[in-house]
Chains A and B, each alone.
Chain A
Amino acid sequence: MRRRVASSPEKVSGLVPMADILANTVGIILFILAFTVLHTGGVLIPKRLPMEREDADRKPVYFVCYEKRLLPLDGNLRDKLFKGLGTPTYETAESWVARFNRARVEDGFFTVEAGGEARFNRGAYQSIAELVLFASYKPKADVGDTQEGLRGESSLFNARIKGLSKDGRFLYFIVYPNSIELFREARDYAESQYGIASGWSPATEGEPITFDLSGNGGGTAIVPKPQP
């Protein structure tokens, strides 16, 4: 460390000029801050404002934005819940639903659980059993693409959307509250890189994604077999 020898007390510099410089610097920074805040007041983003529209020609490809990860959702996974259950009849509807409710399948990203009930309407002239069925997709933790990784050549997102026809498919994002930024990033990338349109729907924190399966497999209404 450098040492100096003070020849006389008069040569020791005072702190007043330094404090003066500091005070001036702080004052200028405050002025710049005030000017910036007042002048900007918000970011303007040119964007195409969304509006829902029917598009029966294009089929959705589902993705879920969960815990800041992007998970591809396999819509066909729910069909596996019906495997080995056979066809329900009016007489077997109750036991069929009980077996259906125990069904559970999974892939690398989701665990899918079945749920449902048989509602009987016994009328004087005709009785029917209505099956109300649904599949709950529970996302797994720490799987899927991160926001930084989804643009990468080897990302799951890239691999899934690369070959999609923009006229035949669109991306449908199911977004959990803590993954809004990730959703925007993925949507912008798909649009700018591949020209694929997209839609989205909000999901509730802590709850699985539920698909209504009524009309699928079990059918909506079953009537008893005609009596001989």
Chain B
Amino acid sequence: MNAGNLSRPRPNQEHFDLLPFIAIMMIVLAVLLFITMTMASLNVGAGAAEGWIPTKTQGTNNKIPILVEWDGETAIIQKPSGHRRAVLGKEVLRWLSSEGRFRNGEMREFWNEMKSQRNTHYVLFAVRPSGFRNFQVLASAFRDAGVNVGYEPIEQSKRIQLKMDKGRLR
């Protein structure tokens, strides 16, 4: 092979045009990006939270639900005036005092409040998988006080809120 021929450019030299391949690659990248962003959008936006709008069906209760998220350790009480956290811990035996009242101040206050409003309100628990184990103990504390309860399972990390018409939120 003559080394002189390699270094000299030839006007009629054949070569591959990379432009179509780059274009295809860009389209593929754009599609992948779009799919990724759609999934992210669903998970960060629409899939991250759930809002419950109560429907009115004949024969169902007319009491106002107060939503309480329960994860087995902490109760997040969603009051119209704002959210309150009551950390009860995992040890069921430590929740209540010997008089049958909650040791945790936030929960005791809520329990008393619900007791006084039991004819008009009820506690709606959103129970996360980690709260399945000890949920019934918590619910029974309200049942025993004559407060109605309802409960619905919810995924571990999904945010939840009630969408009530303002007339019912008092």
Minimal beta-carbon separation of B21 from chain A (angstroms): 10
Contacts A22-B30, A52-B148 given: A47-B52 contact, CB under 8 Å?
yes
Complex contacts, A204 vs chain B, CB 8 Å = 132-133
Q: 0/1 per residue, B43-63, Cβ < 8 Å to A?
A: 011111111111101001101
| Distance between Cα atoms of A44 and B136 in the complex (Å) | 27
Q: Are A42 and B30 in contact (CB under 8 A)?
A: no
Contacts A43-B51, A52-B149, A202-B136 given: A180-B26 contact, CB under 8 Å?
no
A122 proximal to B (CB < 8 A) = no
Q: 0/1 per residue, B1-17, Cβ < 8 Å to A?
A: 00000000000111111
| Distance between Cα atoms of A13 and B42 in the complex (Å) | 39
A76 proximal to B (CB < 8 A) = no
Q: Are A49 and B65 in contact (CB under 8 A)?
A: yes
Contacts A43-B46, A204-B133 given: A51-B149 contact, CB under 8 Å?
yes
Q: Are B149 and A41 in contact (CB under 8 A)?
A: no
Number of residue pairs spanning A and B whose beta carbons lie under 8 angstroms apart: 134
Binding stretch for chain B, among A1-9, A89-97, A105-113, A151-159: A1-9
Which partner residue on chain A sits nearest B46 by CB separation? A40
The 7 closest A-B pairs by CB, nearest first: A42-B49, A177-B129, A202-B132, A51-B150, A37-B45, A50-B150, A40-B45
A contact residues vs B (CB 8 Å cutoff): 1, 3-6, 12-13, 15, 18, 21-22, 25-26, 29-30, 32-33, 36-53, 175-178, 180, 183-184, 200-205
